[in-house]
Structure 1
Amino acid sequence: MQTTTATSSLAIVSLVAGILGLFFFGSIIAIICGHIARSQIKESKGAQSGDGMALSGLILGYIGVAIWALWLIFAGVIAAAS
Protein backbone atom coordinates (compact mmCIF):
# COMPACT_ATOMS: atom_id res chain seq x y z
CA MET A 1 0.00 0.00 0.00
CA GLN A 2 1.39 3.33 -1.05
CA THR A 3 0.96 6.32 1.22
CA THR A 4 0.81 9.84 -0.12
CA THR A 5 2.02 12.93 1.62
CA ALA A 6 0.47 16.34 1.18
CA THR A 7 2.73 19.20 0.24
CA SER A 8 2.59 22.04 2.73
CA SER A 9 0.77 25.00 1.22
CA LEU A 10 2.86 27.37 3.36
CA ALA A 11 6.00 25.90 1.79
CA ILE A 12 4.65 26.74 -1.65
CA VAL A 13 3.71 30.25 -0.51
CA SER A 14 7.20 30.69 0.95
CA LEU A 15 8.89 29.66 -2.29
CA VAL A 16 6.71 31.87 -4.50
CA ALA A 17 7.03 34.86 -2.16
CA GLY A 18 10.79 34.33 -2.00
CA ILE A 19 11.07 34.45 -5.78
CA LEU A 20 8.85 37.54 -5.99
CA GLY A 21 10.76 39.15 -3.12
CA LEU A 22 13.91 39.28 -5.20
CA PHE A 23 12.24 41.62 -7.67
CA PHE A 24 9.20 43.23 -6.05
CA PHE A 25 8.01 42.42 -2.54
CA GLY A 26 7.39 39.31 -0.50
CA SER A 27 10.65 38.58 1.27
CA ILE A 28 9.18 39.01 4.75
CA ILE A 29 6.22 36.80 3.80
CA ALA A 30 8.64 34.17 2.50
CA ILE A 31 10.60 34.19 5.75
CA ILE A 32 7.55 33.95 7.99
CA CYS A 33 5.80 31.26 5.93
CA GLY A 34 9.04 29.32 5.51
CA HIS A 35 9.67 29.10 9.23
CA ILE A 36 6.07 28.12 9.98
CA ALA A 37 6.04 25.55 7.15
CA ARG A 38 9.28 23.90 8.29
CA SER A 39 7.94 23.69 11.83
CA GLN A 40 4.65 22.15 10.69
CA ILE A 41 6.42 19.68 8.40
CA LYS A 42 8.66 18.49 11.23
CA GLU A 43 5.70 18.16 13.60
CA SER A 44 3.69 16.17 11.04
CA LYS A 45 6.22 13.29 11.18
CA GLY A 46 6.02 12.53 7.48
CA ALA A 47 2.39 13.44 6.80
CA GLN A 48 3.48 16.65 5.05
CA SER A 49 6.26 17.25 2.57
CA GLY A 50 7.82 20.38 1.09
CA ASP A 51 10.73 21.04 3.44
CA GLY A 52 13.00 21.79 0.48
CA MET A 53 10.56 24.34 -0.91
CA ALA A 54 10.23 25.97 2.50
CA LEU A 55 14.01 26.10 2.90
CA SER A 56 14.41 27.57 -0.59
CA GLY A 57 11.78 30.19 0.22
CA LEU A 58 13.63 31.05 3.43
CA ILE A 59 16.95 31.43 1.65
CA LEU A 60 15.44 33.56 -1.11
CA GLY A 61 13.59 35.62 1.48
CA TYR A 62 16.75 36.40 3.43
CA ILE A 63 18.61 37.21 0.20
CA GLY A 64 15.76 39.52 -0.82
CA VAL A 65 15.87 41.33 2.53
CA ALA A 66 19.64 41.75 2.19
CA ILE A 67 19.31 43.13 -1.35
CA TRP A 68 16.65 45.64 -0.30
CA ALA A 69 18.69 46.69 2.75
CA LEU A 70 21.78 47.24 0.62
CA TRP A 71 19.75 49.20 -1.90
CA LEU A 72 18.33 51.45 0.83
CA ILE A 73 21.79 52.03 2.29
CA PHE A 74 23.14 52.86 -1.16
CA ALA A 75 20.26 55.25 -1.84
CA GLY A 76 20.82 56.92 1.54
CA VAL A 77 24.51 57.38 0.87
CA ILE A 78 23.81 58.89 -2.55
CA ALA A 79 21.16 61.22 -1.09
CA ALA A 80 23.48 62.32 1.71
CA ALA A 81 26.33 62.96 -0.72
CA SER A 82 24.31 65.21 -2.97
Structure 2
Amino acid sequence: MSIPAPRQTSSYAVISLVAGILGWTLLPFLGSLGAIIFGHMARGEIRRSNGQLDGDGLAVTGLVLGWLSVALWVLGILAFIVFFGGLAWIAALNS
Protein backbone atom coordinates (compact mmCIF):
# COMPACT_ATOMS: atom_id res chain seq x y z
CA MET A 1 0.00 0.00 0.00
CA SER A 2 1.51 3.30 -1.07
CA ILE A 3 1.10 6.50 0.86
CA PRO A 4 -0.13 9.39 -1.28
CA ALA A 5 2.22 12.34 -1.51
CA PRO A 6 1.05 15.34 0.53
CA ARG A 7 -0.33 18.17 -1.52
CA GLN A 8 1.70 21.36 -1.64
CA THR A 9 0.20 24.73 -0.83
CA SER A 10 0.27 27.28 -3.63
CA SER A 11 2.90 29.95 -3.00
CA TYR A 12 0.64 32.51 -4.63
CA ALA A 13 -2.10 31.69 -2.11
CA VAL A 14 0.25 32.33 0.80
CA ILE A 15 1.46 35.58 -0.78
CA SER A 16 -2.17 36.64 -1.30
CA LEU A 17 -3.03 36.06 2.35
CA VAL A 18 0.09 37.86 3.62
CA ALA A 19 -0.53 40.78 1.24
CA GLY A 20 -4.17 40.95 2.37
CA ILE A 21 -3.07 41.21 5.99
CA LEU A 22 -0.47 43.83 5.06
CA GLY A 23 -3.20 45.70 3.21
CA TRP A 24 -4.98 46.20 6.53
CA THR A 25 -1.83 47.04 8.52
CA LEU A 26 1.47 48.25 7.07
CA LEU A 27 0.83 48.73 3.32
CA PRO A 28 -2.77 49.91 3.09
CA PHE A 29 -3.43 50.19 -0.63
CA LEU A 30 -0.50 48.33 -2.21
CA GLY A 31 -0.96 45.27 -0.01
CA SER A 32 -4.61 45.07 -0.98
CA LEU A 33 -3.83 45.25 -4.68
CA GLY A 34 -1.20 42.53 -4.24
CA ALA A 35 -3.72 40.36 -2.38
CA ILE A 36 -6.22 40.69 -5.22
CA ILE A 37 -3.70 39.98 -7.97
CA PHE A 38 -2.00 37.06 -6.25
CA GLY A 39 -5.34 35.66 -5.05
CA HIS A 40 -6.64 35.40 -8.60
CA MET A 41 -3.32 33.96 -9.78
CA ALA A 42 -3.41 31.37 -6.98
CA ARG A 43 -6.95 30.25 -7.71
CA GLY A 44 -6.10 29.78 -11.38
CA GLU A 45 -2.94 27.87 -10.53
CA ILE A 46 -4.83 25.63 -8.08
CA ARG A 47 -7.56 24.92 -10.65
CA ARG A 48 -4.99 24.00 -13.31
CA SER A 49 -3.00 21.72 -10.96
CA ASN A 50 -5.56 18.85 -11.08
CA GLY A 51 -5.56 18.38 -7.32
CA GLN A 52 -1.79 18.68 -6.85
CA LEU A 53 -1.94 22.09 -5.13
CA ASP A 54 -3.85 23.17 -2.06
CA GLY A 55 -4.53 26.62 -0.60
CA ASP A 56 -7.78 27.75 -2.16
CA GLY A 57 -9.02 28.91 1.24
CA LEU A 58 -5.90 31.02 1.72
CA ALA A 59 -6.36 32.57 -1.72
CA VAL A 60 -10.03 33.34 -1.08
CA THR A 61 -9.21 34.89 2.29
CA GLY A 62 -6.56 37.09 0.65
CA LEU A 63 -9.06 38.11 -2.04
CA VAL A 64 -11.74 38.99 0.51
CA LEU A 65 -9.29 41.04 2.60
CA GLY A 66 -8.02 42.81 -0.51
CA TRP A 67 -11.42 43.62 -1.99
CA LEU A 68 -12.84 44.80 1.36
CA SER A 69 -9.90 47.12 1.86
CA VAL A 70 -10.19 48.55 -1.66
CA ALA A 71 -13.94 49.04 -1.22
CA LEU A 72 -13.39 50.94 2.02
CA TRP A 73 -10.72 53.09 0.36
CA VAL A 74 -13.11 53.96 -2.48
CA LEU A 75 -15.92 54.77 -0.02
CA GLY A 76 -13.55 56.91 2.04
CA ILE A 77 -12.38 58.85 -1.00
CA LEU A 78 -15.98 59.38 -2.15
CA ALA A 79 -16.98 60.58 1.32
CA PHE A 80 -14.02 62.98 1.31
CA ILE A 81 -15.02 64.37 -2.09
CA VAL A 82 -18.69 64.70 -1.13
CA PHE A 83 -17.88 66.36 2.20
CA PHE A 84 -15.39 68.89 0.86
CA GLY A 85 -17.37 69.37 -2.35
CA GLY A 86 -20.37 70.21 -0.19
CA LEU A 87 -18.31 72.66 1.84
CA ALA A 88 -17.09 74.32 -1.35
CA TRP A 89 -20.66 74.54 -2.62
CA ILE A 90 -21.85 76.13 0.63
CA ALA A 91 -18.92 78.58 0.55
CA ALA A 92 -19.75 79.49 -3.06
CA LEU A 93 -23.40 80.17 -2.10
CA ASN A 94 -22.37 82.46 0.76
CA SER A 95 -19.98 84.58 -1.27
Same fold (TM over 0.5): yes
Residue 78 of structure 1 and its aligned partner are, at CA, apart by: 2.2
Identity rate, percent = 46
Q: Following TM superposition, where does structure 1 have runs of at least 4 consecutive aligned residues deviating by more than 3 angstroms?
A: none
User: SS of 1:77's equivalent?
Assistant: helix
Residue 57 of structure 1 and its aligned partner are, at CA, apart by: 0.7
Aligned length: 82
Larger radius of gyration: 2
Over aligned residue pairs, what C-alpha RMSD do you find? 1.2
2:44 to 39, 61, 71: 39
Q: What is the match of residue 48 of structure 1? A: 53
Residue 47 of structure 1 and its aligned partner are, at CA, apart by: 1.1
User: SS of 1:2's equivalent?
Assistant: coil
In 2, are the aligned partners of 1:30 and 1:58 still within 8 Å (CA)?
yes
Q: Deviations over 1:22-69 (max 9, x none)?
A: 342311111111011001001101111100000111111110110100
Scaled by the length of structure 2, what TM-score is found? 0.78
Q: 2:79, 2:23 → 1: CA distance?
A: 19
Q: What is the match of residue 19 of structure 2? A: 17
In 2, are the aligned partners of 1:22 and 1:63 still within 8 Å (CA)?
no
Gaps of at least 5 residues in structure 2 are 88-95
